[in-house]
Every structure is written in C-alpha cells, then in structure tokens.
Amino acid sequence: MVTVTTNTVIDAPISLCFDLARDIDLHTQTVWKHTKERAIAGTISGKINGGEMVTFEATHFFIKQRLTSRVIEFRSPYYFVDEMMKGTFKSMKHEHTFEERSGKTLMVDTLTFTAPFGVLGWVVERLILKNYMKRFLEHRNRQLKMVAESIE
C-alpha cells in the first residue's frame, strides 16, 4: 500500500473549492489531456454527492482502463472520500480535505492505493506508480486552483 499526499493553497472560498473538486465536468477537463479521461457511467456530469458513483475511462501507460468509485463519506464543505469499487488497482481510496486558512482554502488530497499482482505490484507501486499518481494529482490541483482563483 502506498499513500500520496498533496497540499494546495487556493485563494478562493472553501465552498467554491469543495464544489469544484467534486465537479465531474471540471475533473475531465483538468486531468492530463493524453489520458482522454471521460465519465461514462453513474454521475457523469455536474457535482457528485455522497453515496453516488462514477465510472471514468482513461488511458494510462498506453492501456485503456475503467475505474468505478463511490463517494463513501461526505461532509460539505470540508471533506469527502471516494473509494474504488472496481478498477485496475487492488484498492484505492481518495480523501479530499478542505480547511479555511486566513481567507484562503487549504485543499489536501490523500490517495492510498494498492497495486495488484503481489510482489510485482509492490515493486511497481514504489518505482513507478507513487510518482505518477503524485504528478497526476499535482497537475489536476494546479488546474483546479487556476479555475477557482479566476472565478473570485
């Protein structure tokens, strides 16, 4: 199991940051373009809420993949957690935390995942996936920050 954490300070209200982070349309617009990520089932547009599911299809490492996750915890505008129900990983949980700090918002993403394939997966987690997933989150968070700060 590997955990990746990112911290992003956004000069925008907490409620706006929370809503943007759970916006499916914005998600697909702000991830890496080469992944061609799109929502194909469940909540495929607008803001996802507690108990709802979404299935994304994207290409990573030249392989088209699908990942279905459900929002298992939801406390607006401070916290939500989505957990993989079906996908390439053995397990994946993504915690989104938001804190007001001096008129700005601290957005913390904590992604915990386990690759399949036993020892081979353990090696791939540490040599490739940890850095890849961190860069993926950092890119998406920079994009979300730019959108949020352009609204206010």
Q: How many independent structural domains does the chain possess? A: 1
Secondary structure of residue 53 in the 3-state scheme:
strand
Segments forming the whole domain that contains residue 99: 2-151
Averaged pLDDT of the chain:
95
Identify which of 79, 101, 68, 66 has the alpha carbon closest to the alpha carbon of residue 22: 79
Distance CA 49, CA 67 (A): 17
**Structure confidence at residue 61 (pLDDT):** 84
Q: What confidence tier does 142 reach under pLDDT thresholds 50, 70, 90?
A: very high
Query: What is the chain's alpha carbon radius of gyration, rounded to the nearest angstrom?
Result: 15
State the CATH number of the domain containing residue 74: 3.30.530.20
pLDDT digits (tens, 9 = 90+) for 55-102: 999 998 888 999 999 999 999 999 999 999 999 999 999 999 999 999
